[in-house]
Amino acid sequence: MRQAGRYLPEYRAIRQKVDFLTLCKTPELAAEVTLQPVDILGVDAAILFADILLPLEAMGAELQFVKGDGPTFPSPVRTREDIARLREPNVDETLGYVFDAMRLVRRELDGRVPVLGFGGTPWTLAAYLVEGGGSKHFEHLLAWSYGDPEGLSVLLDRVADVSIAYLLGQIAAGAQALQLFDTWGGLLDLDRWRIVALPPLRKIVDALKGKVPLIYYINGGTHLLPALAELPVDVLSVDWRLPLSEVRRRLGDGAPKILQGNLDPAALLAPIPEIERRTAAVIEQGRGGGHIVNLGHGILPMVPVENAKAFVEAVKRTAI
């Protein structure tokens, strides 16, 4: 996760020339940074470089990336009246640059490794849109979910519809699998996740099921595993807070056949022998079912490139 990013000098060199949104919206540059981890680290799949919030911009929400603050929405959506201001975009017109980048990546890779597309879940996208950016407490989102859950469901459903069109567009452009990121799904308890966050997520999963393999990632969501066992995706991607063997035990017979994860991203700051030891431990914990070795969250920007390489190489040596 976050294969292309600030830990790579080659990525930083491009970012010195263009801002983040320009990088996302320039297919040649987005394709170039997508390919960097494949060439530099030797990973087994490329993840298209984009941002999960782009569909919200396509819906008419002003999106800014402010240095030091990350993504911000100067006019957050917090009421039913605010929802009415959002539009139903033609994704080919508003997000076609993402599809163009996907086509370029497929052409450049020429089958070397598969290419993954991705998107955010409606709940996670709404977390940014309602709060106006990142948040420590998500007070606006959570208050809305308690005070007017029906109104919030209207927003989530609108986001789900745009997400379906966007993800289908990625498939048409060449995505060979899709990953859905639920970074803030863990904010909700199990019952409220089922009531609030699951319906729009299921709408997306049901629309995409069978077209390409679907991966669902949840951060901070180990308490949601009983519900995740019922989610009809091909791969469940989890954070690092539980060993994979315990994740599989809690999922029980309803578990997806394949788990993805789940090395602590901070482990890549350790000495290389410790990285190798911990990578071997993750692989051992993942035995007993299908397992895609990965980090449990995005790679940290301060990770040395040689440490990231050591992780990938350790996987390839050990995961036999």
Report H helices in the chain: 9-15, 20-25, 27-41, 54-58, 80-84, 91-94, 96-109, 122-131, 139-147, 149-173, 190-192, 198-208, 225-228, 244-251, 272-285, 305-318
6 among known catalytic residues = yes
pLDDT at 319 over 90: no
pLDDT at 256 over 80: no
pTM (predicted TM-score): 0.96
Report whether 214 contacts 206 (CB < 8 A).
Answer: no
15 among known catalytic residues = yes
- Choosing from 15, 80, 192, 241, the catalytic residue is 15
Tell me what the mean pLDDT of segment 198-202 comes to.
Answer: 98
pLDDT at 167 over 80: yes
pLDDT at 254 over 90: no
- Choosing from 7, 11, 128, 216, the catalytic residue is 128
- Choosing from 2, 103, 194, 250, the catalytic residue is 2
Q: Which domains does the chain have, with CATH numbers?
A: 9-233 (3.20.20.210)
128 among known catalytic residues = yes
pLDDT at 288 over 90: no
Amino acid at 276: E
- Choosing from 7, 51, 182, 216, the catalytic residue is 51
317 among known catalytic residues = no
Euclidean distance between CA atoms 203 and 164, whole angstroms? 8
Q: Which helix (H) or strand (E) holds 179?
A: strand 177-182
Structure tokens at 42: 């030797």
Tell me what the mean pLDDT of segment 105-133 comes to.
Answer: 98
